[in-house]
Amino acid sequence: MRDELISNIYNKALDIISRREHSEKEVTSKLLKKFNEPDLIAATLSRLKDNNLVNDERYAEMYTQIRKRKGFGPKRIKYELSSKGIDDSLSSVIIEDEGGWQEAAKNAFNKKFKKGIALEYKDKAKQKIFLQNRGFTFQEIDSVFS
């Protein structure tokens, strides 16, 4: 019975990660919803990590690239990675290595505001707030407007 449960947990974990990359925290929470066996889930995750099937660094790199392409900045991505259980030091290194954030800010701006930089102060402030909400730093925002 116990071996069957271990097998079921492992198969469910494989099913989860077969669709897309997941962080260790995501896999754990999904498995805990289905199986109330924290010890067996921890053992299963250890096995998955040993086989390099669950890798937080690989997940963070992939997630950062995808979110950057969708027009989000480093501050927002770092927050999202943190909420997905990725260590802050790891996410900082990956975001720094990714680079090209000024170009990403310009792309996000141009996609949203096809007419370009507004002339009125009020409208320009709204454009800056948009980029700020997307998670870009003030330096990156200033590079768009200079």
pTM confidence score: 0.88
Name the token pair of 110.
């141009």
- pLDDT score at 2: 81
Which of the four pLDDT bands, split at 50, 70 and 90, describes residue 146?
confident
- DSSP assignment of the chain: -HHHHHHHHHHHHHHHHHHS---HHHHHHHHHHH---HHHHHHHHHHHHHTTSS-HHHHHHHHHHHHHHTT--HHHHHHHHHHTT--HHHHHHHHHHH--HHHHHHHHHHHH-TT-S-SSHHHHHHHHHHHHHTT--HHHHHHHH-
What would the mean pLDDT of 95-110 be, rounded to a whole number?
A: 94
Alpha carbon 51 to chain centroid distance? 22
- pLDDT score at 102: 95
pLDDT over 90, % of the chain: 88
What would the mean pLDDT of 64-91 be, rounded to a whole number?
A: 96
* Residues 6 or more apart in contact with residue 66 via CB below 8 angstroms: none
Where does CATH 1.10.10.10 sit in the chain? 2-54
pLDDT over 70, % of the chain: 100
- pLDDT score at 4: 87
Q: Torsions phi, psi of 142, nearest 5?
A: -60, -35
Note the CATH number of domain 2-54: 1.10.10.10
